[in-house]
Structure 1
């Protein structure tokens, strides 16, 4: 027997929180894949701890999303149900975070990109009209600052390092940068959240993000790629071919052993 899937409310505030919670959750899954595989022991521990930070953020945000879901539909989902029992099209993370683990250069650049985004977003969410979300942001912003700083140090170290490390960083920039455009595209969910004071529009973070990431890449001796027409659409539930494999692994135990307790 397997557990049936759940379908969250389409209300804007629920969807806004799912985007945030899913971004943290799916990146945490990718970072967890480094456990036992990082290039040095210290990074093995650091990446795993950052994964746990992101799981904690995801749990808090998904719990709040489940409570808001109850206001709309009368059904309150907990964080485990929202994490493990949705269909692929109901996940709202940007495609950037679901891409395969890649090498260490790929990982630290993605961490820098997402860490910078989350830091800027958590800073704004501290003044959210939702008091519970504001409280979550007050704790999460400290973790995001560390994630950005840690990843940024590695981006500079590798980009300004050996020929091999610099080549790997250039390759990572070429692959990852086109996915950044999706992070700042607005839709009706963003508009409703901004109007209600729940949180900023995605586009509100673009200028500061580009400035901080541009400075980081310049220090690393790397160039910001020219804009491309390519657009990913993970926030709309249209995911890459990698997402299904990630969810199959992530959801297996909960699906196979419904409500299992340890």
Structure 2
């Protein structure tokens, strides 16, 4: 599948990231424990994704079913650790550390997929990451328990990167809905097993307990991750990973809109730096695509 890194696809992935950025809000609002919350997020998504994935399921190879199940296990690790991290650290820190996937994705994609890295790609990546740290620097007020939460969120980034790398490669053969539907079984079984051993399976009662779970299901699993997997068929994996770093930026904007939290000058500067970094990477990959086409 040809990945042309068109502007419309970059914008579409930004929409996906905007949905993913709502995750911390719904997890905080959920009355269920963290891993149970993640379990129902995935479980509820499976029947919703079936109509979208039904036609594509007929083309699934047995080997790829096993690979997608494994991808689902990796996503379950990300969901479990990310949800747990909110109990110990801030939403901003959790979003930042979980989305440090480029540190894993970029070197692995270079060696496994032979993804070309443009001359100024690392500069754009450094600018983007610096901007995220500047943005969150104004909110960081660490206490002792924050370090455990930060560590959990950081570990989640490795699981998330593994899921991204697998879905990126399979996106050459399957629609995003097929990837999310099939991997959902691996995620649901893994999260269900972990929840049973650690928290015990808890049943949500009433809309008060159901609506945050449904919000997670729709915004993250059905729309966010599904749309992100779709964009991975249109964008280079490194560019896609850098765009995902906008998630904590968007989460900060949500905090301003929903909770009336004023953005400091430092936070605004951080947002601007992140946008410059993403734009620089976009320009580099556009030039790379044009050069490849010329050959």
TM-score higher than 0.5: no
Looking at both structures, which has the greater relative contact order when contacts are Cα pairs under 8 Å and sequence separation is at least 6? 2
Q: Which has the higher helix share?
A: 2
TM-score (norm 2): 0.27
TM-score (norm 1): 0.29
